[in-house]
């Protein structure tokens, strides 16, 4: 199995968890950083926010 196929499966599974789009990273997080967030960092923060908001 190639990494590309595995990555696609992970993204599809992650997106299927949400009935709505994944939570957005708040602006105040990016505003307090010296550099712009990279896509994988935004994705990780989005997942973290999701885990903190669920019951």
pLDDT tens string 3-38: 788 888 888 887 777 656 778 889 998 899 999 999
Chain centroid offset of residue 21 CA: 10
CB 46 within 8 A of CB 22: yes
What does each C-alpha distance from 15 to 12, 25, 35 come to in angstroms? 5, 16, 27
> Does the reported pTM lie above 0.85?
no
Task: Report the distance separating Cα 8 and Cα 18, nearest Å.
Answer: 16
Cα separation, 10 vs 47, in Å, equals 13
């Amino acid at each position: 199995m190639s990494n590309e196929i595995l990555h696609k499966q992970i993204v599809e599974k992650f997106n299927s968890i949400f009935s709505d789009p994944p939570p957005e990273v708040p602006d105040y997080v990016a505003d307090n950083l010296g550099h712009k967030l990279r896509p994988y960092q935004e994705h990780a923060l989005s997942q973290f926010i999701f885990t903190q908001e669920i019951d």
